[in-house]
Amino acid sequence: MNNWRFKEIVVMSVLSVVFAVVYLAFLPIGKVLVGFFGPIGYDLIFGIWFIVSIIAAYIIRKPGAAFISETIAAMVEVMLGNATGPMLIVSGMIQGLGAETAFAVTRWKNYSSWVLMAAGVGSAVFSFVYGYFISGYAALSTTYVSGMLVTRMISGALIAGVLGKALSDGLAQTGVLSSFALGKEFRKKRTA
Amino acid sequence: MKKALLHVQQLRLRFENQLDKDILSNIDFELKKGETVLLLGPSGCGKSTLTFCLNGLYPRELDGTITGDVFINGKQSTDYKPGELSRHVGVVFQDPETQFCMLTVEDEIAFGLENLNVPQQLMEEKIDNALSLVNMSAFKESAINSLSGGQKQKLALACILAMEPDLLILDEPTANLDPVATKELVATIENLKRQQEFSLIVIEHQLDGWMELVDRTLLLNKNGELFFDGSFRNGIKHILPCLREQGIWLPKVTQYVLQQDGLNEDFIPLTIGEFANQSHYWQQPICNTAPQKKRNVEEFLEINDISWVKNNNTIIQNVSANFYKGEFVAIVGANGSGKTSLSRLLAGIQKPTSGTIQLNGKPLDDWKEETLRDEIGYVFQNPEHQFVTNSVYEEVAFSLHLKRMNTREINKQVSSILKVCQLSELENEHPYSLSQGQKRRLSVATMIVDQQHMLILDEPTFGQDTQSTMELMKLLWERHKQGTTIVMITHDMEIVHHYAERVIVINNGEIVADCNPNELWKQPKVTLNAWQLDYPIQVQLQQICKKDTCYVSTQP
Amino acid sequence: MFLHNLNPCIKALTIVLLVIMLALIFDPITPFLFMILTVILTFLGGNINWKKYCLYFVPFLVIAFGMLWTTIAFADAPANPHEVISLVGFDVPKESFVTALALAFRVLSVAALSLLFILTTNVVDFILSLIQHLKVSPKIAYGVLAGYRFLPMMKDELAIIRSAHRVRGFNHAKTLREKWNQYKMFSIPLLASSIRKAERTAIAMESKGFTGGKERTFYRRITITPSDWFFLCMMIMSLLGIAYISWEFGYFKWYNGEL
């Protein structure tokens, strides 16, 4: 963490706080979907719960951004008082770790759309494995479980990866990111 | 002779994103122990950047290049360890809301002390001390959220005072405060200066109040050069055109005297007090410039006994008023008195709990949102909130697109509005990248593009420099002349005096006065102060002159 | 109230341990009894508003109920398909039903534990305790605290942005694309202003001499007392006790093979 600037940390934590609120807002939506489709309903929109790690990593571009931001978001969700408790922090960490793994593979150098989507998929896979053990997916039939996994991976790639990138790019256009890695890259592209 | 506390030598700074332009250019100056200096310059002249150089944040956090030296207590700023310099230099920033990281008052003050490794047993005393210096002892255990803007700024000051710096820098500390809170903050600083010895740098737009305090003035220009270092009075005497060109605010009295009398080297009052002492120099009659109330007969908006209750608090109480076509109305009153709420009710953004509002004789409820917006435009306090597209052009064209207007027509209309608002050259920029003044004009532009009949603005001149204020008021005045009804919330009595035909005073959610400004100024001072208002400068001078009529020639 | 005065880190540790233990238990009775115990303890040992508690707890009831029926509906083929019980007119394999009930009560007991923590813990104390006892880097901890302060501000700002956009006529989105655009233009002003404020906060904190270093004094020392450890032991003992009781009555079941 020593090569992090303090303002990067505060900005990351603010992003986490914003998305903690978004995450909470999506819980009831998930519940409605579950009502319609069964447990797979959550997986349709599961990507939304990975989005902060992709956004933070894409903007700040330092090792740890994906993992820490998702962890903080989970903590804030717990503090806000409407979540599954301490275990949610653990699942947040695991999701963050999934995204972080994808960035680690590129040695935190490459932040193209593909890598961002891969990070979303990474979170999906990690969180699924964890959920399999914790939430007792085992009690469900195998075809159904594999359906859940595939749905969640697609959702991770699209909602977290693609949407996260689009949001960050929109933000970069406003110029408020000028002292962060993404803003600098954006400026270079513009002047080039 | 007193030792120099601060010595800046040949300081030059550039940002990474514009390496061809100096933000600060060859800055040289000295500051002695106990001295008070005012640092002035137009928006974007690098004042805040200079602050960061003085407290050691730059070059550590800088994306760019810096040359030259900053010596504090004889030691170069870069030779201090990170964090160490904050024992010597303390900064209070502009926006009180974003200076805190803790939830309660005492924790927040303790935060700075903890950073300095002050032993725990000494902290309590220091915290109590700092709080009593700013008269906030009663709030020691309060949540920061529960404080008003003025109290927050005083807390920010207390946090720095607790750290006992040799140099206190105030970076536009009153920009986000209303006039009453501003006066209080200045008085607090004045008081502190009497009790303790520390050097002070004040960076400000709003000069009134500070003039009695300062020993010296430093002036920066748009290129980040220090072009004047000396007494402000001398500056006005010798380089007045230069000050004007740089858009530097003058104290209101000075401004007024210069306007009426031209430059008289023997008579440059910087404060009302100075004017009173020297008023025998004053040769001009003071006449009213406020526009007289026109006879407007055509009713536009009719408000009938409305109240608005939020979370069991009555914000607006039994308000009735009519607005006529083509009026220029100012709404004034203390912070939290309900001005903004009332303006939102007028615009139909919020619905009153009881009572009715009629637009052209038809209740607001019966208007469709789209057609209502063709009648009434509303400019929010923070213009960024209203931006919905990625370029200035698109921003203005947005509502025309919604109407399915054809492209040629849109093009024509947008260009003409942009021209009126002096934004033509910026049409491809992102709305967020504009300056404060430009953003405000853009949000006005989006609200007049449909030829709306009424424009409501929430404190449109808040925290802006002279030039953008003038430009905005000019724009509104043009609109007004073309028949648009203008309703604006403001704290600026000068604006009320010069532009408004009618002023509505709100106090605790009720209308306590609704009259021509000249009528309002006839109220006794106690009444105005109870409403948290003050007289405009012209009226103040008039009152002084009346007191000693023997010196004043009343003949033109 | 003793729950409020406990060390936040030990309290968190206790709850994490209990949650792990609950994860290993797979019968409906143990978590049910433990949930009752936790709720009673929360009200005896904490200064809690009834209404607030219910407001927080109800969503979990909904989740638990959803889990109950989905687990039954999408369950794997049971080992003993002939043992059935009748639920609102449907025959359901007993095994599936018991599994579903166990999962649902587990969710509820974990929720009760979390609420015990959330409703009796001061955020600042918790973060200070993280720095002082768990050696979390002050740089991150204070960064989080600064971010946490933004919550109420963001709520107000969101309301303003919403009405500001309405004035611009930005609420007629019909197609999916327009809706997406609308959400984007909603979030960008909010995020942009939050980022700008965050930068300012960071600068203000550094100007006050904050370096993020581990060496700093504390105005408020969060303590660990024997009563913290007593709480931890008591909680674990009671869960073990409850598990023993259900064992005696033949309900207890380990978590095994259900994977």
pLDDT digits (tens, 9 = 90+) for B200-249: 999 988 888 899 899 999 999 988 999 999 999 999 989 988 888 887 88
Residue A88 CA to residue A97 CA, distance in Å, equals: 14
The verdict on B349 and B210 lying in the same domain is no
User: Which chains form contacts with chain A, at 3 or more CB pairs under 8 Å?
Assistant: B, C
Per-residue pLDDT tens digits for C94-132 = 877 888 888 889 889 988 998 899 889 988 999 999 999
Tokens read off for B466 = 């002279």
Residue A136 pLDDT class (50, 70, 90 cuts): low
pLDDT > 50? residue B448: yes
Residue A5: closest CA among chain B residues belongs to which residue? Answer: B61
Residue C257 CA to residue C79 CA, distance in Å, equals: 12
Q: Does C24 touch chain A (CB under 8 A)?
A: no
The verdict on B160 and B170 lying in the same domain is no
Residue A69 forms part of a structural domain: yes
Q: Which of A6, A13, A80 sits opposite C212 (nearest CB)?
A: A6
Cβ pair B54, B233 in contact under 8 A: no
Q: Which of B135, B164, B193 is the last residue of a domain?
A: B164
The verdict on C150 and C80 lying in the same domain is no
Nearest to B253 by CA among B239, B276, B272, B236: B272
User: Which site among B21, B432, B436 would you substitute to test the A interface, given the most A Cβ atoms closer than 10 Å to its Cβ?
Assistant: B432
Residues of A in contact with C57 (CB under 8 A): none
Residue A192 forms part of a structural domain: no
Number of domains forming the structure of chain C: 2
State residue B407's pLDDT score. Answer: 92
Residue B329 CA to residue B372 CA, distance in Å, equals: 20
pLDDT > 80? residue A192: no
Q: Which of B209, B239, B269 is the last residue of a domain?
A: B239
Q: Which of B164, B180, B211 is the last residue of a domain?
A: B164
Burial of B233 (0-12, 13-18, 19+ CB in 10 A): middle
The verdict on B29 and B111 lying in the same domain is no
State residue B555's pLDDT score. Answer: 42
The verdict on C29 and C60 lying in the same domain is yes
Identity of the residue numbered C8: P
Residue B474 forms part of a structural domain: yes
Note which residues in 2-21 of chain A have CB less than 8 A from chain B.
Answer: 5, 7
Least confident interval from A17-21, B551-555, C193-197: B551-555
State residue B554's pLDDT score. Answer: 44
Residues of B in contact with A173 (CB under 8 A): 390, 430, 432
Least confident interval from A27-31, A165-169, B98-102, C223-227: A27-31
- What is the DSSP secondary structure assignment for residue A140, as one 8-state letter? B
Q: Which of A1, A14, A87 sits opposite C198 (nearest CB)?
A: A14
Question: Would the pTM count as exceeding 0.95?
Answer: no
Give CB contacts under 8 A, 24+ apart, made by B551-556: B551/B279, B551/B280, B551/B282, B552/B279, B552/B282, B553/B283, B553/B285, B554/B285, B555/B285, B556/B285
Containing domain of residue C95, as a range? 2-123+224-248
Q: What is the dihedral of CA A74, A80, A86, A92, to 10 degrees?
A: -10
User: Which site among A171, A176, A179 would you substitute to test the B interface, given the most B Cβ atoms closer than 10 Å to its Cβ?
Assistant: A179
Residues of A in contact with C12 (CB under 8 A): 86
Q: Which of C167, C205, C206 sits opposite B386 (nearest CB)?
A: C167
State residue B548's pLDDT score. Answer: 62
Residue A126 forms part of a structural domain: yes
Number of domains forming the structure of chain B: 3
Contact check, Cβ <8 Å, B386/C204: no
pLDDT > 60? residue B550: no
Cβ pair B213, B270 in contact under 8 A: no
The verdict on B188 and B329 lying in the same domain is no
Residue A1 forms part of a structural domain: no
Per-residue pLDDT tens digits for B286-308 = 555 555 555 567 889 999 999 99
Q: Does A135 touch chain B (CB under 8 A)?
A: no
How far apart are the CA of C180 and the nearest CA of chain B, in angstroms? 13
**SS3 state at B184:** helix
pLDDT > 70? residue B505: yes
Residue A1 pLDDT class (50, 70, 90 cuts): confident
Q: What is the DSSP string of chain C?
A: -HHHHS-HHHHHHHHHHHHHHHHHB--SHHHHHHHHHHHHHHHHHS---HHHHHHHHHHHHHHHHHHHHHHHHTBPPPS-TT-EEEETTEEEEHHHHHHHHHHHHHHHHHHHHHHHHHHH--HHHHHHHHHHHS---HHHHHHHHHHHTHHHHHHHHHHHHHHHHHHTTTT---SHHHHHHHHHHHHHHHHHHHHHHHHHHHHHHHHTT----S----SS-----HHHHHHHHHHHHHHHHHHHHHHHTT---B--S--
Per-residue pLDDT tens digits for B460-469 = 887 777 778 8
Cβ pair A107, A135 in contact under 8 A: no
Residue B442 forms part of a structural domain: yes
Residue C217 forms part of a structural domain: no
Integer angstrom CA distances of residue B509 from B8, B244, B341, B492:
51, 40, 9, 20
Residues of C in contact with B344 (CB under 8 A): 163
Residue B282 forms part of a structural domain: no
The verdict on B337 and B442 lying in the same domain is yes
Residue B322 CA to residue C132 CA, distance in Å, equals: 62
Residue A6: closest CA among chain B residues belongs to which residue? Answer: B61
Sequence-distant (≥ 6) Cβ neighbours of residue B555 within 8 angstroms: B285
Residue C39 forms part of a structural domain: yes
**Stretch B26-33: mean pLDDT:** 93
Q: Does C241 touch chain A (CB under 8 A)?
A: no
Residue A41 CA to residue A24 CA, distance in Å, equals: 16
**Stretch C20-32: mean pLDDT:** 87
State residue B288's pLDDT score. Answer: 55
Residue C99 forms part of a structural domain: yes
State residue B285's pLDDT score. Answer: 59
The verdict on B111 and B152 lying in the same domain is yes
Contact check, Cβ <8 Å, A17/C23: no
- What is the DSSP secondary structure assignment for residue B403, as one 8-state letter? T
Residue A55 CA to residue B258 CA, distance in Å, equals: 55
Sequence-distant (≥ 6) Cβ neighbours of residue A81 within 8 angstroms: C56, C115, C118, C119
pLDDT > 80? residue C178: no
Q: Domain with B450 in it: what CATH number?
A: 3.40.50.300
Q: Which of A38, A138, A177 sits opposite C259 (nearest CB)?
A: A138
Q: What is the dihedral of CA C5, C11, C12, C18, to 10 degrees?
A: -150
Number of domains forming the structure of chain A: 1
pLDDT > 50? residue B553: no
Residue A53 CA to residue C104 CA, distance in Å, equals: 30
Q: Does A176 touch chain B (CB under 8 A)?
A: yes
Q: Does B390 touch chain A (CB under 8 A)?
A: yes
The verdict on B111 and B80 lying in the same domain is no
Tell me the pLDDT of chain B averaged across its residues: 88
Per-residue pLDDT tens digits for B143-153 = 998 898 889 99
Strand order in the sheet with B354-359: B313-324, B299-310, B354-359, B362-363
Residue A140 forms part of a structural domain: yes
Residue B260 pLDDT class (50, 70, 90 cuts): confident
Identity of the residue numbered C59: P
**Stretch B21-39: mean pLDDT:** 93
Integer angstrom CA distances of residue B423 from B313, B395, B435, C189:
42, 12, 11, 21
Sequence-distant (≥ 6) Cβ neighbours of residue B156 within 8 angstroms: B92, B93, B96, B99, B100, B173
Containing domain of residue A99, as a range? 6-184
Angle between helices A51-60 and A113-134 in degrees, nearest 10:
140
Residue C117 forms part of a structural domain: yes
Q: Does B405 touch chain C (CB under 8 A)?
A: no
Cβ pair C239, C15 in contact under 8 A: no
The verdict on B348 and B434 lying in the same domain is yes
The verdict on B158 and B191 lying in the same domain is no
Residue B370 forms part of a structural domain: yes
Q: Does C197 touch chain A (CB under 8 A)?
A: yes
Residue B540 forms part of a structural domain: no
Sequence-distant (≥ 6) Cβ neighbours of residue B373 within 8 angstroms: B399, B450, B452, C167, C168, C169
State residue C187's pLDDT score. Answer: 87
Per-residue pLDDT tens digits for B363-380 = 998 988 888 888 999 999
Beta bridge partners of residue B12, listed in sequence order:
B67
Q: Which residue has the higher pLDDT, B541 or A47?
A: A47
Tokens read off for C242 = 């409850």
Angle between helices A164-173 and A181-191 in degrees, nearest 10:
60
pLDDT > 50? residue B1: no
The verdict on B404 and B473 lying in the same domain is yes
ipTM of the complex: 0.91
Sequence-distant (≥ 6) Cβ neighbours of residue A130 within 8 angstroms: A90, A91, A94
User: In terms of DSSP bridges, do strands B24-32 and B454-458 run parallel, antiparallel, or are they unpaired?
Assistant: unpaired
Residue C214 forms part of a structural domain: no
Quickly count: other Cβ atoms within 10 Å of residue B93's Cβ. 24
The verdict on B388 and B474 lying in the same domain is yes
Per-residue pLDDT tens digits for B119-138 = 999 999 999 999 999 999 99
The verdict on B391 and B514 lying in the same domain is yes
Q: What is the dihedral of CA C182, C185, C188, C189, to 10 degrees?
A: -120
Containing domain of residue B118, as a range? 102-164
